[in-house]
Chains A and B, each alone.
Chain A
């Protein structure tokens, strides 16, 4: 990263390209047949050489899923998803077992290079360890040695199942049980890989951990699962990035993230979601149905979610915090941008159970084109959550008169010593601000990019530097062509 970029002027780099991650990599992959059944689940489990208890877990989830119906309360519309038309397992064919990077399929390396993610450690952005998940399988985790020195476990979910089965068994499904919702049940039945991270007692992870997800193969769904545990006094900042190729059909992504944080521990979880959003006419794009939840189990524990959502045809996502430990803190910072025919229904849940728990919600929605962008959030203060505090601010910005911006907060309070405050505004981009920029010679499109980035700054500032740079560019690219 040159100083140039750090100076914060990213506009020059915004080219007119549309979705620049839309290439397809020609990889040989190992796929399951289309469709979902107990046999497919057994196939996945066998492929991954899983212990019986995990197969049982999957089957229970699958049987439960069969009893459920797709939720319909979100402000999103899509043709029915044919769950039998999806390939639930697709893995780039491994060349035996990889010992060094030299053995990684060069096509694959190239894919990640195009994405701007280098798997070669020496070229790595200083201080970021990467786990790369392509289609359903983790292909490479970097910086293993550095992490091992601190006894930090950071590996693919499959490896964790093989090497740390007790930990996985202890925590899997404890924050997001498979009964939680339709997509959680589906994921629990078919998840193929994901990342696993364990921060031992008293360890502050010295580098940022990061997972890049990519859907590559056609007709596949991606169902990854992330499990993150921070023991007493532990700290980690975790980044997640997602891209997918440009395809005409819709692809399903249904992930689960579970976080468990013990006494005095802290997890920062940042996401830049840039799945393919579909084209200008609304054709194609990823259906992104994700369940993310963190449990602040210990005293003074803290979970902070930051998300920049620019991609996906549909986003259905509510990263949540269950504030169980006394004095625990939950934060949610979100920027969601929708353009063309994108639909986003996203927000958070803050469940206050412990005493003196605090939560903050800052949500900035930006809608353009013919898109719909909804904030949906729940703040619940239970009877025993004395002195719980919540502050929420949800702003929406409308660009153009064909889009929608919606705010659906749900506040449920049952404790008289708690304080909950919610504020929201909806407005269009200020004409005075636009004129001011234009008077200084900045054209309309750039002016909008500038103002929107300013508007989202409170959230973007929460992202680690490298991610913030990418996020700013994404905001501008997403909004391209939204005026005129």
Chain B
């Protein structure tokens, strides 16, 4: 198919050069399988380059601007010299978390804490260290769930990744504390390629909170690939909180493999960010697996959000649901591409999908493509998509009860968003997100709040003007 002579973008050139200069050095420390993968991936990238808008999955997202940026491919290990709390101001209150920190694409903690193992055998730590310490375990899964051939970004990630987070929960272990991964870029003009792997053994359980934050107004491109394996009857609750500055681009590409009776719950909350693209590809490979993927996006200015959700029912008797809701203000643009695939013989499938959008201004724009591709007959599949305004009748009802227009509007906007927020199981997190969303809707939230958990000013109570319970 590839026939036209492609343009080589500056960032592509930088990447090729970087690869050439570092490949020998990487080889020394890399596991052989990683070296092989890097080479396969770079040749794929040489052939295909970055994705373009002619590609179905990239039709509505234009990243040419980013390709033109002379970004630095950051893969230096940052020596641990500052106190964690100086950089990561997020003090999480209200619920127990184990914080995992990444700075500019590298695991960030005192040397001897790069990877830890608990009494129960739960392994958490740097991906690079994990490859050294547990090569057999990591190799078994690494690169097996994601495909570097899906597009240029995955290829670049496979070729250039240097670190990330590795989590392994052994069979039968239920991890009590929530793991919180905080990723921060604090230097300008970086491209970071990180790679995370989460493996849940049989009958295990984990809650994982994945925060992507900016602490300043630097430009940056984060290209993350997450691989997740849920073995039989494992359960993962995954929350992604994204609160980046307007000049940041984030690609969050998640691949999930689910064995029989495993349960996946994902909630993607995008509160801010110049360009955020979330791809989730969930392969339901074992009978009785369940998947619930939801998301909320609140975009304004010239921000762009792109959610691409692929749920593949490869075997019978699985359930999946997708719920994505968005509020688009100013000149923000958005894409929702939800895809349900039901393989031949994947009978007794239940799959649901819904995308609702509210446009606030005439300059905001949304493209929604809820697609179903179904090859089995004993299935219940449905999808719905709406783009519209706030419910007029609801507005009238509230105003009739004396609530002024702007409050009524805010209330209804919040109620609209709340359907997704209410799916957050951790109460403290839910309350904190509710506050964030309320402030976001009032236009008060900015990255000055540092992190979505607004720890910069934890003392300041956040109250919403209107108490919904009084209506």
Contact = CB atoms under 8 A, between A and B. Distances in A.
A414 B362 contact: yes
B359 A399 contact: no
Given A401-B345, A424-B383, A427-B379, A409 B365 contact: no
A426 B379 contact: yes
A405 interface: yes
B150 interface: no
A405 B388 contact: no
A23 interface: no
B223 to A, nearest CB: 27
Interface in A400-436: 400-428
Contact of A420 (B344, B382, B383, B387): B387
A147 B165 CA distance: 78
A270 interface: no
Nearest to B56: A73
B451 to A, nearest CB: 31
Interface centre among B361, B367, B373, B389 (most CB of A within 10 A): B373
B457 interface: no
B371 interface: yes
Interface in B376-410: 376-389
A416 B376 contact: no
B80 interface: no
Given A401-B377, A415-B359, A426 B372 contact: yes
B178 interface: no
Nearest to B386: A421
Nearest to B328: A416
Interface residues of B, number: 36
A415 to B, nearest CB: 6
A356 interface: no
A383 interface: yes
B389 A426 contact: no
B425 to A, nearest CB: 29
B386 A420 contact: yes
B97 interface: no
Given A418-B388, A422-B384, A424-B384, A411 B378 contact: no
Given A415-B362, A416-B362, A425-B382, A404 B387 contact: no
Nearest to B357: A413
Contact of B369 (A383, A399, A400, A409): A409
Given A401-B345, A413-B365, A415-B362, A407 B386 contact: no
A313 interface: no
Contacts of A75: 373
Contacts of A403: 375, 377
B378 A401 contact: yes
Contact of B364 (A399, A407, A414, A427): A414
Contacts, number: 118
A406 B381 CA distance: 11
Contact of B385 (A399, A406, A411, A418): A411
A416 B359 contact: yes
B381 A427 contact: yes
A383 B362 contact: yes
B183 to A, nearest CB: 32
A375 to B, nearest CB: 9
A448 B280 CA distance: 39
B460 to A, nearest CB: 33
A427 B384 CA distance: 15
Nearest to B346: A401
A428 B381 CA distance: 10
B184 interface: no
A243 interface: no
Nearest to B379: A426
Interface in A313-350: none
A396 B367 contact: no
Contacts of A420: 385-388
A91 to B, nearest CB: 39
A383 B363 CA distance: 7
Given A400-B377, A401-B377, A416-B359, A409 B370 contact: yes
B374 A426 contact: yes
A396 to B, nearest CB: 7
B360 interface: yes
Given A407-B372, A409-B371, A422 B385 contact: yes
Contacts of A413: 357, 359, 365-368, 387
B380 A427 contact: yes
Contacts of B385: 409, 411, 420-422
A423 B367 contact: no
Contacts of B376: 398, 401
A418 B389 CA distance: 8
B374 A416 contact: no
Interface string A376-409: 0000010100000000000010111111111111
Contact of A407 (B347, B360, B383): B383
A414 B367 CA distance: 9
A417 B377 contact: no
Nearest to A384: B362
Given A401-B377, A414-B362, A426-B372, 4 more contacts: A401-B345, A403-B375, A406-B371, A419-B389
Interface of B: 56, 344-345, 347, 357, 359-389
22 contacts: A73-B56, A399-B377, A402-B344, A403-B377, A406-B374, A407-B371, A408-B369, A408-B371, A408-B372, A411-B367, A415-B359, A416-B360, A418-B387, A419-B386, A419-B388, A420-B386, A421-B385, A422-B370, A424-B372, A424-B382, A426-B374, A426-B379
